[in-house]
């Protein structure tokens, strides 16, 4: 495995890859989700539409900026997480906005130097009408459980004590994370089922599977990911309850580092997912159901349509 810009060493990658192989075996023993009892999904019950922005087009969601101007503020460490950056729409005429916490992967940084990995996502997603907090973890070596706890702490701070708290709808919150940060998404969705959406980018979860997930969850993987392998990810996703609104997509040719670079391949899935489940905006379902309008770079797509 090649050097991960000074932080993702061969030894780190080997340890995580070995752990993934062990987890794959454990997930196989868990059995299919359809064999386990399920309950209704609170995230899709009694929702009220909060449509924002013009009628969407494919060209619109392919663009690197949406219809809303944005601003950003740095966040100091404290309040249960190690700071980060908040990105938000500057428009105050639309009411409050849904919010998203982004969790970086193992040893990675979300926005801080020397090599921020998810900072590109903040302005992009906030310009589509979301308050986005890209968090740093208390330790770069935090595992999935700690990362999930830190994301939930960040959302609590965002809605109760942050300078932008009056811009955020506390009832429309979501989480997204990469690798071990995606494992944090698994933790967060299972421990705070009131979340409206979860998105795992090559999620790795050594502590749990997805059998208790009732939050609408999108799982993205890379066809050529040697770390969170396709077989591991398919096994993890197979533990998802059959009644949970979810989708699995594999990006053609993508490796584990794919999500560190700005791209609209994943955003054409992420933006509609957030719009549908955080904003209850049925105008965006056309980009996910019954099939993708542009699947040229997607090698596997398994939705559970319809979503609304």
Place of tokens 């830190």: 150
**93 part of the active site:** no
At 166, phi and psi to the nearest 5?
-75, -10
Instruction: Collect the ranges in the chain with pLDDT lower than 50.
Output: 1-15, 17-47
Q: What is the per-residue pLDDT across 223-255, written as a single tens digit (0 to 9) for each?
A: 999 999 999 999 999 999 999 999 999 999 999
What is the C-alpha separation between 91 and 70, in angstroms, rounded?
8
pLDDT at 49: 61
Q: Catalytic: which of 179, 205, 212, 246?
A: 179
Instruction: For residues 64 and 28, give the distance between their C-alpha atoms in angstroms, rounded to a whole number.
Output: 39
Which pTM was predicted?
0.85
Domains within the chain, CATH numbers bracketed = 17-26+66-303 (3.40.50.1820)
pLDDT of residue 113: 83
N-term to C-term CA, the chain: 42
Q: Per-residue b/e over 282-307, b at no fewer than 16 CB within 10 Å?
A: ebbbebbbeebeeeebbbeeebbeeb
Task: Of 169, 154, 130, give the one whose Cα is nearest residue 76.
Answer: 154
256 catalytic? Reply is: yes
pLDDT at 28: 40
Residues 218, 28, 211, CA angle at the centre, nearest 5°? 45
Q: Of 142, 225, 279, 281, which is the active-site residue?
A: 225
Q: SS3 for 301? A: strand
**Cα-based distances in Å from 147 to 37, 63, 69, 114, 233:** 28, 30, 30, 20, 19
Distance CA 179, CA 162 (A): 27
The residue annotated as part of the active site, out of 127, 205, 256, 281, is 256
Distance, in Å, from the CA atom of 158 to the CA atom of 135, rounded to the nearest integer, reads 11
Of 201, 84, 197, which is closest to residue 137 (Cα–Cα)?
A: 84
> Quick one: which H or E segment has residue 199?
strand 197-201
Query: What is the model's pLDDT at position 45?
Result: 40
């Amino acid at each position: 495995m090649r050097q991960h810009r000074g932080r993702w060493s061969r030894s780190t990658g080997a340890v995580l890859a070995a752990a993934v192989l062990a987890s794959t075996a454990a997930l196989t023993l868990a059995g299919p989700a359809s064999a386990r009892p399920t309950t209704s999904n609170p995230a899709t019950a009694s929702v009220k539409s909060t449509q924002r922005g013009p009628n969407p087009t494919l060209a619109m969601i392919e663009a690197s900026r949406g219809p809303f101007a944005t601003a950003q503020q740095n966040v100091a460490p404290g309040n249960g997480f190690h700071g980060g950056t908040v990105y938000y729409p500057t428009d105050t005429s639309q009411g409050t906005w849904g919010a998203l916490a982004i969790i970086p992967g193992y040893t990675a940084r979300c926005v801080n130097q020397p090599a921020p990995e998810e900072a590109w996502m903040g302005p992009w997603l906030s310009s589509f009408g979301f308050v986005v907090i890209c968090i740093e973890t208390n330790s770069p070596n935090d595992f999935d459980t700690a990362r999930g706890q830190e994301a939930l702490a960040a959302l609590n701070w965002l809605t109760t004590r942050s300078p932008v708290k009056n811009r955020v709808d506390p009832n429309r919150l979501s989480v997204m994370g990469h690798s071990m940060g995606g494992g944090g998404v698994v933790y967060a969705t299972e421990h705070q089922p009131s979340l409206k959406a979860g998105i795992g980018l090559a999620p790795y979860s050594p502590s749990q599977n997805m059998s208790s997930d009732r939050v609408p969850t999108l799982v993205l993987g890379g066809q050529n990911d040697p770390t969170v392998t396709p077989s591991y990810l398919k096994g993890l996703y197979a533990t998802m309850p059959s009644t949970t609104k979810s989708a699995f997509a594999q990006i053609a040719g993508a490796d584990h580092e794919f999500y560190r670079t700005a791209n609209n391949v994943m955003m054409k899935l992420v933006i509609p997912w957030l719009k549908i489940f955080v904003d209850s905006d049925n105008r965006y379902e056309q980009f996910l159901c019954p099939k993708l309008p542009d699947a040229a770079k997607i090698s596997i797509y398994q939705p559970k349509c319809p979503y609304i």
